[in-house]
Amino acid sequence: MRVSTPATFQRIFRVAGLLLALVVFAPTTSRAQTWLVSTDAYIKLGVLDKFGQLGAYTAKFVVINQSSGKEYVLVKEIPAGQHGIDVVFPSEASEADYFKTEKGEAAAGKPGQYIWECQVKGKKVVGGRFNFSEVSNDVTLVGKN
């Protein structure tokens, strides 16, 4: 008795096609949306020679964390014609100039009270105080629908 090869292959192809269709059209695993969150506190400090009488000068910004007593310093050269400058505290340690302690420790925006001043030619010309408050983040998990 002869075995019909084409009929056998037809059945195999039909079954394989059905399995392939089931795999292709099967529902995929749905994942909920995931979010990352980051919050950094910064403050902008600045000094300005209002009438431009000094010409070029050196501005030394000093920020003191009142909780730890750590003193962070950033020195900026202001060229003639540029009357002032703004700086950001804490500045990234990857920048060429950043707020740091005498030991080179970079400043961090930790919660607490800070006082600051800017010195020009060894004298305090401006100053103030600011707070970094505790920060909390809420992340909402978006469910599968």
How does pLDDT run across 5-16, given as a tens digit for each residue? 677 777 887 888
Instruction: List pLDDT tens digits, range 98-136.
Output: 999 999 999 988 899 999 999 999 999 999 999 998 877
Q: pTM of this prediction?
A: 0.69
Structure tokens at 66: 């009142």
Q: What percent of the chain is predicted at pLDDT more than 90? A: 50
Per DSSP, what are the bridge partners of residue 118?
A: 61, 126
Count CB atoms within 10 A of the CB of residue 69.
7
Report how far apart, in Å, the C-alpha atoms of 53 and of each of 33, 47, 50, 118, 126 are: 57, 14, 8, 17, 16
Which domains are assigned to the chain? 43-132 (2.60.40)
